DNA sequence: AAATGATGTTAATCTAGATTAATATCTATT
DNA sequence: AATAGATATTAATCTAGATTAACATCATTT
């Protein structure tokens, strides 16, 4: 199995010895999911944080009217989890579902706690990863409040060009917090604008 | 100066020896701000993460039309910073301003990096703190998308009863992403509902 | 290649929340 | 206690985006 993308990713944050890399990998599971398979379902306890080697996932919340609200897309070299459920080991608010066939590296709660003890440097790694995720989340809140749907869509396209091409429009609408019909309208406006 | 609230807070996450506590405190600054003073202004580099001993602050973004959008309130026993600016040492997106007279403990970038080396357990502390902040931020995104303004206001009241009483209505409206006029309407509806 | 299901578009109508503006209340300061 | 500035309320009108519904296109399976 190909762990190289993961080890390369980690090198951006911390340096590990060969021995540490071996310990780290020994406590992870490499796993493949098919398109549409669930990694976690709302209400279950989220058992892992997952680093994506290939493919893509969406994290979404299903509201009382049965509507999906996408919180996050994840593709190669990024993470997916319901972190709230994972860190407290309580039922998940979100579903994690694969949009494409997806290959990922999984850290279970127990293994990750073990690893924090065995390789304390990993605390630093995950601190930095979560810091970045938090900052992105805060910026998204601001964008949702201060920009129109059209502006948010344009930023989305610029920021995540890879995702735009691989994900159906209606999921992008959900991520932007608008209906698919309104996204369709925005797109035709953007074409006619010039 | 009274560091007890801070040391008590930390004990929820990690155990420190007396010696470690001393090192930790030696690398922090205890500071008082008056009502309305800025801790950081948008465009400046955010020089500290701040633990609040007493008082309250708001983190807000001023948009191109001059409108304030409040990202976060912070009161005693919680943190405030523009973490994006702090971790990358680049210009801040947000202003941090005191709502009341506020007393806080400041960690500068250099001191915190020093402390991570001197007391590696602090990586764990801050990992856990940021994890919680991230989870709260994600939940807020979901709430903003899937609930009406009235529902969000009711949740806000339940979740932050202390803040509701200490902060003017128009700031709560900004935090909820609505106008002060509309919040006023919601409040009178809630009174007349029953 | 026809049929089925998933995805996308267009247009008409509707509504949550914004905007504007006038008035009221509360809080400090002299 | 009078004035000024900050905060809150109310009501009329307006708009970004939702809803509904009909139709179009694309992909997959037989």
pLDDT digits (tens, 9 = 90+) for A34-68: 999 999 999 999 999 999 999 999 999 998 888 89
Look at residue A159 and tell me whether its pLDDT is greater than 70.
yes
Check whether residue B168 has its CB closer than 7 Å to nucleic acid strand D: yes
User: Bridge-partner residues for A48, per DSSP?
Assistant: A108
- Helix axis angle for A109-118 and A18-26, nearest 10°, is 160
Query: What tokens appear for B50 in the block?
Result: 């701040």
Estimate in Å the CA B66 to C1' D17 gap, whole number. 23
Whole-Å CA distances, A116 to A109, B75, B126: 11, 31, 14
Tokens of B160: 């932050």
Q: Are A99 and A167 in contact (CB under 8 A)?
A: yes
With beta carbons under 8 A apart, name residues in chain B contacting A71: 138, 141-142
Residue B70 has a CB neighbour count (10 Å cut-off) of 24
Instruction: Count other Cβ atoms within 10 Å, centred on residue A191.
Output: 8
- Over residues A98-116, the pLDDT tens digits come to 999 999 999 999 999 999 9
Query: Helices in chain A by DSSP H: which ranges?
Result: 4-11, 18-26, 83-88, 109-118, 121-146, 149-159, 161-166, 169-176, 180-193
Chain B contacts to A (CB-CB under 8 A): 61, 63, 67, 69, 71-72, 83-84, 87, 93, 116, 120, 123-124, 126-128, 130-135, 137-142, 144-146, 177
Each residue of A164-181: pLDDT tens digit? 989 999 999 999 999 999
pLDDT of residue A49: 98
Confidence band of A192 (pLDDT split at 50, 70, 90): confident
pLDDT of residue A34: 92
**How many Å from the CA of A107 to C1' of D16?**
43
Q: Look at A177 and B145 and tell me if their CB atoms are within 8 Å.
A: yes
Q: How far is the CA of A142 from the C1' of D4 (A)?
A: 34
Those nucleotides of strand C lying less than 7 Å from any protein Cβ are: 6-12, 16-21
Query: Alpha-carbon torsion B165, B170, B172, B173, what sign?
Result: positive
Cα separations in angstroms, A17 against A23, B26, B72: 10, 33, 40
CA angle A30, A11, B137 (to 5 degrees): 75
Query: Which pLDDT tens digits describe chain B residue by residue (194 residues)?
Result: 689 999 999 999 999 999 999 999 999 999 999 999 999 999 999 999 999 999 999 999 998 888 899 999 999 999 999 999 999 999 999 999 999 999 999 999 999 999 999 999 999 999 999 999 999 999 999 999 999 999 999 999 999 898 998 999 999 999 999 999 999 999 999 987 65
Cβ–Cβ below 8 Å for A130 and B135: no
Output phi, psi for A154, to 5 deg: -65, -40
For A184, residues 6+ apart whose C-beta sits below 8 A from its C-beta are: A169
Q: Residue A65 has what pLDDT? A: 83
Nearest Cα residue to B95 out of B63, B135, B65, B126: B63
- Retrieve residue A4's tokens: 């190289």
A154 burial class (0-12, 13-18, 19+ CB within 10 angstroms)? Answer: middle
The two tokens of residue B8 are 């008590």
Q: Compute the distance between CA of residue B69 and CA of residue B44 in angstroms, rounded to an integer.
A: 18
Q: CA of A84: which chain B residue's CA is closest?
A: B135
pLDDT in tens, A1-20: 689 999 999 999 999 999 99
Output the distance from A14 CA to C6 C1' rounded to whole Å.
44
Measured in residues, chain A has a length of: 194
CA B185/CA B180 separation, integer angstroms: 9
Query: How many percent of chain A have pLDDT more than 70?
Result: 98
Q: Can you list the alpha helix ranges (DSSP code H) found in chain B?
A: 4-11, 18-26, 83-88, 109-118, 121-146, 149-159, 161-166, 169-176, 180-193
Could you report the per-residue pLDDT of A124-138, keeping only the tens digit for each? 999 999 999 999 999
B138: nearest CB among A123, A128, A137:
A137
Closest CA to B133 of A47, A57, A83, A44: A83
User: Model confidence at A194, in pLDDT bands (50, 70, 90)?
Assistant: low
In this prediction, residue B194 carries a pLDDT of: 54
Mean pLDDT confidence for A139-162: 94
Q: What 3-state class would DSSP assign to B18?
A: helix
- Whether the CB of A153 is less than 7 Å away from nucleic strand D comes out as no
- What's the CA gap between B179 and B100, in Å, rounded? 23
- Rounded Cα distance between A82 and A49, Å, is 8
What are φ and ψ of residue A77, in 5° steps?
Answer: 70, 20
Say which residue the tokens 């959008």 belong to: B69
User: Going from the N-terminus, what domains does chain A have, and what CATH number goes with each?
Assistant: 4-120 (2.60.120.10)
The pLDDT value given to residue A64: 84
């Amino acid at each position: 199995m190909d762990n190289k993308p993961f080890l390369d990713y980690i090198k951006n944050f911390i340096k590990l010895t060969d021995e540490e890399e071996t310990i780290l990998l020994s406590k992870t599971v490499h796993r493949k999911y098919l398109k549409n398979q669930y990694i976690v379902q709302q209400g279950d306890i989220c058992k892992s944080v997952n680093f994506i080697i290939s493919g893509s996932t969406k994290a979404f919340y299903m509201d009382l009217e049965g509507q999906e609200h996408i919180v996050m897309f994840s593709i190669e070299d990024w993470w997916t989890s319901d972190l709230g459920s994972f860190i407290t080991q309580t039922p998940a608010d979100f579903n994690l579902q694969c949009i494409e066939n997806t290959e990922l590296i999984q850290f279970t709660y127990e293994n990750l706690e073990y690893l924090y003890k065995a390789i304390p440097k990993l605390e630093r790694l995950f601190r930095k990863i979560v810091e970045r995720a938090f900052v992105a989340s805060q910026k998204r809140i601001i964008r949702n409040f201060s920009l129109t749907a059209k502006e948010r869509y344009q930023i989305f396209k610029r920021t995540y060009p890879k995702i735009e091409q691989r994900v159906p429009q209606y999921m992008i609408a959900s991520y932007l917090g608008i209906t698919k019909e309104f996204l369709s309208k925005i797109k035709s406006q953007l074409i006619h604008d010039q």
